[in-house]
Amino acid sequence: MTAARLVVGGAVLSGGRLLAARRTAPAALAGRWELPGGKLEPGETAPGALVRELREELGVEVEPLERVPGQWPVAGGALVLQVWTARLVSGSPLPLQDHDELRWLRQGEVDSVDWLPQDRPAVHWVASRLGGS
Ligand code: 9L3
Ligand code: MG
């Protein structure tokens, strides 16, 4: 067994809302929603990879805040997903790479999109901490 490679997802928060991103690839995942992010490169920390990935995918600067407890297997266990909350520091997210739609969801809206199954526990953990209104 080789160790599962780490994938980091960002629960980007702004104004009490959570950012959801709809994937375009691979075909099996196209149309499903995720917390944007991706695989760590050699030598990167998870928060460092998150900052890089969100710059590349969305054109924004974020500050990782805290790790969501737990981790979730992806792709039959070859990868493992960890999630960090992150504060939007600058920029407005755009679907530059790997996504074709973005949505800011309020607490009562988080179940309105079709999340990848491995993202759901983290989405619910984060949503329970968003102020409802
Ligand atoms: N994945 C699942 N949930 C997420 C992210 C960022 C990624 N929040 C899965 C989708 C792919 C794999 O991890 O199967 C690698 O992700 P990417 O590098 O294609 O974004
Ligand atoms: Mg990605």
pLDDT tens, 62-91? 999 999 999 999 989 999 999 999 999 999
Any atom of ligand 1 within 6 Å of the Cβ of 58: no
Nearest CA to ligand 1 atom 17: 38
Nearest CA to ligand 1 atom 20: 38
What is the secondary structure of 5-36 as a DSSP string?
Answer: EEEEEEEEEETTEEEEEEE--STTTTT-EE--
What is the ipTM for the molecules in this complex? 0.98
CA 91 / ligand 1 centre spacing (Å): 23
Any atom of ligand 1 within 6 Å of the Cβ of 39: yes
Closest to 64 measured CA to CA, from 8, 22, 5: 8
Q: What pTM, to 2 d.p., does this model score? A: 0.96
Average pLDDT, the chain: 96
Q: Which ligand is nearest to the CA of 116?
A: 1
For residues 64 and 24, the answer to whether their CB atoms sit within 8 Å is: no
For residues 107 and 131, the answer to whether their CB atoms sit within 8 Å is: yes
From the CA atom positions of the chain, what is the Rg in Å?
14
